[in-house]
Chain A
Amino acid sequence: MLPLVHLIVALIAILTFIALNGLILVYVERKVAGFIQRRPGPFEVGPHGLLQPLADALKLVGKQLVMPRGADRILFWVAPLLSFAPVAICLLPIPFGPHLLGLDVNLGLLLVLAFSGLNVLALCLAGWGSNNKYALLGAARAVAQSVAYEIPLLLSVLCVAFTCGSLSFVDITASQTRGLLSWNVFSQPLAFLIFFVSALAETNRAPFDLPEAESELTAGFHTEYSGMGFGLFFLAEYSYMIVVSAVASVLFLGGWSGPFFSGHWWMLGKIYTLILIMMWFRWTYPRVRFDQLLNICWKWLIPLSLINLLGTALIINLVR
């Protein structure tokens, strides 16, 4: 009985966390963009624009839900829900603090990777269900990008799993509590970089946002969505950013452990630092062309991560 209550409380807490973060991250992104571009950003709605995301959310909710003629009703409306729903499950096995854990599962890593892969299915459904040639093209590109970058993501995560000997987030965090230098980023720097780049590509963030920002003709897989449908995709994108940053913090940056006063604040700090770095990248770089994007994955990231994996395996065997 108690584990079920624990699970439900954790789910509610995570959903609240995601919802709040959606609002906060939208505001932070626009403010960061403004400051990088030497301008104020949102300012008028509320003091210093703090109520702007609320106004945006209200606007999105208030819009008419339009479905294009000939679109497949079920697929069209399932796609945004499918994009957003797995996020809550992805955040369950991640320990936010020494006692803040939704689901203690010894295959936590596998759970997260499996459920974040559902996003690809959501893209397919959105593209096909829109009955729009451009949306289909955009969705096909987005799917190709996501599928390609899953592989270096997995391979870099495997390196960490090798060094720690476990797929459970709790164990991985525990193995990094022995001081600052025990963080995995110092023993696996290449894996961290590959993971971060793959994460950027998985969440369709710049400079890899060609599928969603192809403003010339295909506005991407979410061309036909307006109002709350678009809102859900948008929210899902920011939520996946949080998931990916949380996973990176746990795997490479020591999770909730810190040099002093370990706890959930360190975890949150690391998550937000990584998200700020992602935003920094977005406002600095132009977009990578699609074939160059796939080239980076197939010709650079996958060989590098394979070499990294083999090297890790070799060293572990030699040390043992």
Chain B
Amino acid sequence: MKGLWSLIVGLKVTGKEFCRPWITVHYPRQEVTNLDTFRGHIDLVPVLDDPEKPLCIVCRRCEEVCPSSCIRIEGHVPGEEKEAPVRQLLLVSNIMLPHSAAREPICATDKTLRVLDGFSLNYNLCSLCGLCVQSCPVSSLTFSSDVYLAGASRKDFEFDLLQRLRDRAGSTKLKKAA
């Protein structure tokens, strides 16, 4: 008898739930509202007075600490020729291994001024661990809230972060002008 009553109780539970509104966030009619805490891919942070100039000092700590070798940085010392990129020494087969697996120290160890020429992120490999953001000594990396990403090939997820910074600066200039 107690068993049969349990069946009725179960029916009451589902009956009550039937009458309650649904909890689906019905995309694209509705969107989630908590993206500000979500770790999307990283983006460069500009200096305060120039939205096109990144804070990055090309120390390459993020490039070294990344477990999946997602980051490729190009920079040069002003006045000198552009350096040969370190990544030429890494084989394609090592793409999943961290840089330091090749036993090459790539992090800068002196205080030479360097200028950033290119900062590319291969988001296909990124595991959103946040080690790059926390290892940056000048906090020049931040997480974006870019989650509505869709692409048809891997190239769609290879981001040029310096270009993205410049695009954002351009659009804010347009907004200010308008």
**Do the two chains touch directly in the complex (Cβ atoms below 8 Å apart)?**
yes
Which residues does A use to contact B, with CB under 8 Å?
32, 34-40, 43, 280-281, 283-285
Name the one of A32, A39, A283 contacting B22, with C-beta atoms under 8 angstroms.
A39
A38 contacts B11, C-beta separation under 8 Å: no
B10 near A: Cβ within 8 Å? Answer: yes
A284 adjacent to B10 (CB under 8 Å)? yes
Find chain B residues with CB under 8 A from A280 CB. 11, 14-15, 18
Please, what's the 1-or-0 string for B1-32, where 1 marks a CB less than 8 Å from any CB in chain A?
A: 00000010011011101101111101000000
Asked if B24 and A284 make an inter-chain contact with CB atoms under 8 angstroms apart, the answer reads no
Once the chains bind, are A40 and B22 in contact (CB under 8 Å)? Answer: yes
CB-based contact B18/A285 at 8 Å = no
* A32–B11 CB distance below 8 A: no
Chain A residues near B24 (CB-CB < 8 A) = 38-40
Binding site for A on B (CB under 8 A): 7, 10-11, 13-15, 17-18, 20-24, 26
Whether B10 and A285, one on each chain, are in contact in the complex, defined by CB atoms closer than 8 angstroms, is yes
Question: Least Cβ distance of B14 to chain A in Å?
Answer: 5
- Looking at the assembled complex, report how far the CB atom of B134 sits from the nearest CB atom of chain A, in whole angstroms: 38
A38, A39, A283, A285: residue with the most chain B Cβ atoms closer than 10 Å: A38
A129 to B108, CA, bound (A): 74
- Return chain B residues, CB-CB under 8 Å to A40: 22, 24, 26
CA distance A39 to B14 in the complex (A): 13
Return A47 CB to nearest CB of chain B, in Å.
13
A285 to B4, CA, bound (A): 12
* 10 sample A-B contacts, Cβ–Cβ < 8 Å, listed by A number: A32-B18, A34-B22, A35-B18, A36-B17, A37-B17, A38-B24, A280-B15, A283-B14, A284-B10, A285-B7
**A36 CB contacts on chain B under 8 angstroms:** 14, 17-18
A43 contacts across to B, CB distance below 8 A: 26
Main secondary structure of the interface of B (DSSP, over half): helix
**B22–A38 contact, CB under 8 A?**
yes
Given contacts A34-B22, A40-B24, 11 further A-B contacts (CB under 8 A): A32-B18, A35-B18, A37-B17, A38-B20, A38-B23, A39-B23, A40-B26, A280-B14, A280-B15, A280-B18, A285-B7
Q: How many CB-defined contacts (below 8 Å) exist between A and B?
A: 33
CB distance from B7 to the nearest CB of A (A): 7
Q: A39 to B26, alpha carbons, bound, how many Å?
A: 9
Q: Which residues of B contact A39 (CB under 8 A)?
A: 22-24
Q: Known contacts A280-B14, A283-B14, A284-B10: does B26 contact A35 (CB below 8 Å)? A: no
Nearest-neighbor residue (CB-CB) of B26 within chain A: A40
Cα separation A280 to B14 with both chains bound (whole Å): 8
A32: which B residues are within 8 A, CB to CB?
A: 18
Residue numbers in A under 8 Å from B20 (CB-CB) = 38
How long is the Cα–Cα vector from A32 to B20 in the complex, in angstroms?
12
**How far apart sit A215 and B24, CA to CA, in the bound complex (Å)?**
27
**CB nearest neighbor in A for B19:** A35
Residues in A neighbouring B23, C-beta threshold 8 A? 38-39
In the bound complex, CA of A285 to CA of B14 (Å): 10
Q: Which residues of A contact B10 (CB under 8 A)?
A: 284-285
Bound CA span A275–B23, Å: 26
- Separation of A280 and B19 alpha carbons in the complex (Å): 13
The smallest beta-carbon distance between B10 and chain A, in angstroms, is 5
The 8 closest A-B pairs by CB, nearest first: A284-B14, A38-B23, A36-B18, A39-B24, A38-B22, A35-B18, A36-B14, A284-B10
Contacts of B11 in A (CB 8 A): 280-281, 284
A60, B17: Cα distance in complex, Å: 32
User: Could you tell me the distance in whole angstroms from the C-beta of B97 to the nearest C-beta in chain A?
Assistant: 41
User: CA separation between A43 and B26, bound complex, in Å?
Assistant: 10
> Quick one: which of B15, B20, B21, B22 has the most chain A CB within 10 A?
B22
A41's nearest neighbour on chain B, judged by CB, is B22
A-side contacts of B22, CB under 8 Å: 34-35, 38-40
- Of B7, B13, B24, B26, the most chain A CB neighbours within 10 A belong to B24
Question: Which residues of the other chain, A, contact B7 by a CB distance below 8 angstroms?
Answer: 285
In the assembly, what is the distance between CA of A38 and CA of B22, in Å?
Answer: 4
How distant is the Cα of A149 from the Cα of B93 in the complex, in angstroms?
Answer: 64
A281 to B15, CA, bound (A): 10
The distance in angstroms between the C-alpha atoms of A19 and B159, with both chains bound, is 54
Residues of A contacting B13 in the complex (Cβ-Cβ under 8 angstroms): 284
Instruction: Output the least CB separation between B24 and chain A (Å).
Output: 5
Q: Which residues of chain A are within 8 angstroms of B18 by Cβ–Cβ distance?
A: 32, 35-36, 280
- Which residues from chain B contact A283 at a C-beta distance below 8 Å? 14
For the complex, give the distance between the alpha carbons of A32 and B19 in Å. 10
Cα-based distance from A38 to B17 in the complex (angstroms): 7
In whole angstroms, what is the CA distance A43 to B7 when docked? 31
